[in-house]
Structure 1
Amino acid sequence: MLPSDSPARVPLADVLHAHRVLQEVIVPTPLQPNRGLSAKYGCNVYLKREDLQVVRSFKIRGAYNLISSLPEEERRRGIVCASAGNHAQGVAFSCHALGIPGIVYMPATTPRQKVNQVKLFGGEFVETRLVGDTFDDAYAEAVRVSDREKLPFVHPFDHPRIIAGNATIGKEILEAGVQPIDILILSVGGGGLAAGIASYVKQVSPETYIIGVEPEGAPSMTRALEAGSVVTLDEIEKFVDGAAVKRVGDLTYAIGKELIDEVLLVPEGRACTTILELYNEHAIVAEPAGALPVAALSAVDPERLRGKNVVCVISGGNNDVDRMQEIKERSLIYEGLKHYFMINFPQRAGALREFLDDVLGPTDDIVQFEYTKKLNKENGPALVGIELKSREDYEPLVGRMTRKGLRFVELNKDPLLFQFLV
């Protein structure tokens, strides 16, 4: 750990050492100007493309820096880690490269793509074990095994060498030739990425304003800053798996509290919209946590961005294609373009035709319709999903249903019912 009397940050000497060590395995990722985002937000947007890293995320930097520093005796016994997926890939790659056995714990909810990549990178050196529903479940089991078997635990974020490895991203950003870096935006999960980059950047470029971004459903750093100490959240939304943790690290909190200037919360739906925009408009495959910084641009006052050099760190691109339908669904709902209703239809011939003719707008589209006719009933419920061309079409649609005398429930506004649809 850092000396108790030192500022909460990783020393520059540790970052420079990590930079030398990592030359063996990492790809120095590009800092790319993005014309589309720059025009959209009135500033100079640059994307730090850690999704182009050898394991498609930044996590290899901290994992390799820590594992390679272990004493020979500990290497022979092997290591244990817990991960939501990306840290596992970095650990697996490092174990294979160094010839060290490893046990990797991940939540059972981890996207299949990430699980398969862990097996690919680790080969015969790594065993994967899926436990629980969240990172915190996997973490608890991994710590138990580490203690029981006396194996080194490779923490995904709360360790000085992990943070020092991540800090090398900050070194690459500041040495990429863009001056000055006015605003730097990065995602916050456990805090290892933010703590690392902030440690380096604030020592070399203290005027750079650093914004951390969390998913709205997992605001662990935000709540810790509000409370003045690390707290454990009771429940979290697991969708942004790379940043969904119930508790940030003690060390990462201490560094973040001192060096991160602001923390923003981004709705999961907004992250989904950004994933689709990055793919369709910029040919970038970003995972939910990787899309958070770009998604946060819309939450920053435009006047603060105008004319500034703004760096967004795309932390990873391990997105499972099987999730794309859910991502599109969440995006449409967030943008107000898709709505679900439970509608009580009259059970008579022509009722559906009247709905199509009198209620549905010219550009409205029924994308889901489930109806079961009930015998000896005057009315029957139907689940109706409607996709709109624009957000402004919603109020007229509801108005026409009301004037038609239809009884309906808006499922988008009922969390208990809506969770069964998304």
Structure 2
Amino acid sequence: MAAKHTDYLQRILTARVYDVAIESALEPAHNLSRRLHNKVLFKREDTQPVFSFKLRGAYNKMSRLSETERKRGVICASAGNHAQGVALSAHRLGCRAVIVMPATTPKVKIDAVRAFGGASVDIVLHGESYSDAYAHALTLQDKQGLTFVHPFDDPDVIAGQGTIGMEILRQHQAPIHAVFCAIGGGGLISGVAAYIKAVRPEIKVIGVQTVDSDAMLRSVQTGRRVTLSEVGLFCDGTAVKQVGRETFRLVRDLVDDFVVVDTDAVSAAIKDVFEDTRSVLEPSGAMSVAAAKAYCAQHKLKGETLVAVTCGANMNFDRLRFVAERAEVGEAREALFAVTIPEKPGSFRRLCRLVGARNVTEFTYRIKGPEEAHVFVGLTVNGRDDAQKMAQTFERAGYGVLDLTDNELAKVHVRHLVGGPAPRSAQGRSMAENERLLRFDFPERPGALLRFLDALSPDWNISLFHYRNQGGDSGRVLVGIQVPPADKRAFSLFLQQLGYQYTEETDNPATRLFLN
């Protein structure tokens, strides 16, 4: 049953959450604040016992059930943070909980739910998606007389999440310009907005959605709840196709504005939070930080206080490589280009001289034909304008250039596919004849690549080059060099005088399979 806006203040003030939840810190983000010229505070919901805010709403709902309802038990459908919140709440309340998860749920998440809930929890794996699990949960609810604990569309769940807003205003009684909250189904921002607008209505409450999971924004714009056909899964904690009835009503009436962010911006925000706190957020948990940055830039804010609710830290470890790769692009600190250069000795060196003292994040090249070569280049830049200047530099030098910084295909796939076997001429001879393949450790400092190229004989052609900055003290570089047999001794002397650690990979089985 829907509650009046004014009812939520009392619901939040009397919410039972602290039997299991902590009052999370409102922590200053010193580095980010200096960069944005505003005071940024992180509301650290990622430090809750289940590493997300979901525990608050689940426990508040379950603690208000009658003794009879608790004895019968509760049920929910979730593959993420809500499942863990229900599991821990059931354990604390001595209440049976059935948690329905898709059969495709990773084992690490299943184990986490089981660890939090112990003997109180029965896990049921059903279907291929959340929708399948949700439908099955409703069937089990009817059959077993269980109480459904909704992840967001329930006044008691919303009130539990609203205690976050109550804590923010208690912890920071000075002026606040805006509070940023990620939106999936809308439970978090509904509760936070209900409290803040009742107590300090001058504070803006800003909702955050991703470009590929923006059901709430579209619903508010349309004036009715819309259902998305597909949702993006990078920020899986907010990947909701349809928002709740009650949350839609509250957000429509109480939320001041929305900010939409993309994968690169969220990845950059994860890095920002790590640099300030040494904590790693899940993508959904960093959406509010990405939005605060975008909002500052859009409105040219200075000297204001902004609060970002960092709402979760259930990050899969294997996602970190992807996040690190996309963070620099999201911060506009890396630009990606495809540069076309003449296929002749010295062209690669000339390209590197154009780059100058800039930090190279990636060079990938494979000989393609007798006339021209295509090089995939990543460079450190100072914003979009700087990237555009670099593209103009390449163009003035007579090189064809294509800016790939915003090209999703290039960022996700093409950068890893550049290379392969060298083509053959019409006579059947390899374009990379007499190729020696070597794996180098370059010192990770400006000038290391040019030193290598300057020491290289002009008679030796580079037929393959791959480098990607990995953030270490040395750069791992794979180079193919066409060295005539008569130059074998001179090439050995070059390697000795260069002084870089190297391993010859010409006869590596992987070389024969994929590069020869």
Pairing 1:312–2:308 present: yes
8 Å CA contact retained: 2:76, 2:149:
yes
The two structures have a TM-score, normalised by structure 2, of 0.69
Matching residue within 72, 76, 80 for 1:81: 76
Number of residue pairs matched?
407
Q: Counterpart in 1 of 2:328?
A: 332
Could you give the per-residue CA deviations for residues 281-305 of structure 1, whole angstroms, max 9, x where no partner exists?
3323322122122211222256674
In the alignment, does 2:5 pair up with 1:14? Answer: no
Deviation readout 1:137-189 (Å, 9 max, x if unpaired): 54344334434544322110000110011111111112224223332221111
Q: Name the SS for the 1:29 alignment partner.
A: coil
**Cα shift at 1:320:** 2.4
- Alignment partner of 1:297: what SS? helix
Letter in 1 for 2:334: L
Question: Which of 348, 363, 377 is equivalent to 1:386?
Answer: 377
**Counterparts of 1:215 and 1:134, CA distance in 2:** 20
Say which SS state the counterpart of residue 218 (structure 1) adopts: coil
Compared with structure 1, are the counterparts of its residues 103 and 369 closer, same or farther at alpha carbon in structure 2 (3 Å cutoff)?
Answer: farther
Distance (whole Å) between structure 1 residues aligned to residue 244 and residue 388 of structure 2 = 43
Match of 2:184 in 1: 189
Identify the match of residue 317 of structure 2 among 293, 316, 321. Answer: 321
**Aligned equivalents of 1:140 and 1:154: distance in 2?**
14
Q: Distance in 2 between matches of 1:249 and 1:310?
A: 27
Alignment pair present for 1:359 and 2:351: yes
Name the residue aligned to 1:298.
Answer: 293
Q: For residue 254 of structure 2, what is the aligned residue in structure 1?
A: 259
Larger Rg: 2
Q: How far 1:60 moved relative to its partner?
A: 0.5
Structure 1: stretches of 5+ with no match in the other structure: none
Alignment match, 1:233: 228
Structure 1 residues 2-401: aligned runs within 5 Å: 2=2, 7-8=4-5, 10-18=7-15, 21-106=16-101, 114-129=109-124, 135-301=130-296, 305-334=301-330, 335=332, 337=334, 339=336, 341=338, 351=343, 354=346, 356-360=348-352, 361-362=355-356, 363=358, 365=360, 367=362, 369=364, 385-390=376-381, 392-393=386-387, 396=390, 400=394
Write the distance in 2 (CA, Å) between the matches of 1:144 and 1:80. 11
Q: Relative to 1, partners in 2 of residues 1:276 and 1:71: Cα closer, same or farther, differing over 3 Å?
A: same
Other structure's SS at 2:87 match: helix
Query: What is the CA-CA distance between 1:327 and the residue it aligns to?
Result: 0.6
Judged with a 3 Å threshold, the aligned counterparts in structure 2 of structure 1 residues 212 and 109 are, in CA distance, closer, same or farther, namely: farther
Which range is displaced more, 136-145 or 314-323?
136-145
- Give me the whole-angstrom Cα distance separating, in 1, the residues matched to 2:17 and 2:267: 32
SS in 2 for 1:46: strand
Task: Report the 3-state secondary structure (helix = DSSP H, G, I; strand = E; otherwise coil) of the residue aligned with 2:322.
Answer: helix
The two structures have a TM-score, normalised by structure 1, of 0.83
Q: Percent identity?
A: 36
Local SS of the residue matching 1:60: helix
8 A Cα contact 1:371 1:380, kept in partner: no
C-alpha separation between the residues in 1 aligned to 2:276 and 2:42? 14
What is the root-mean-square deviation in Å for CA atoms of aligned residues?
3.3
Look up the equivalent residue of 2:309 and give its one-letter code. Answer: V
CA contact under 8 A between 1:86 and 1:114: conserved in structure 2?
no
**8 A Cα contact 2:333 2:380, kept in partner:** no
Contact 1:84 1:242 in 2 (8 A): no
SS in 2 for 1:190: coil
Relative to structure 1, is the Cα distance of residues 43 and 94 closer, same or farther in structure 2, using a 3 angstrom cutoff?
same
Aligned counterparts of 1:416 and 1:98: Cα–Cα separation in 2: 49
- Structure 1 CA distance for aligned equivalents of residues 271 and 156 of structure 2: 34
Aligned-partner Cα distance in 2 for 1:143–1:353: 69
Looking at structure 1, the residues matched to 202 and 320 of structure 2 have their Cα atoms a distance apart, in angstroms, of: 39
- Whole-angstrom distance in 1 between the partners of 2:178 and 2:403: 40
Please say which of residues 161-170 and 281-290 is displaced more in the overlay: 281-290
In 2, Cα distance between equivalents of 1:125 and 1:381: 63
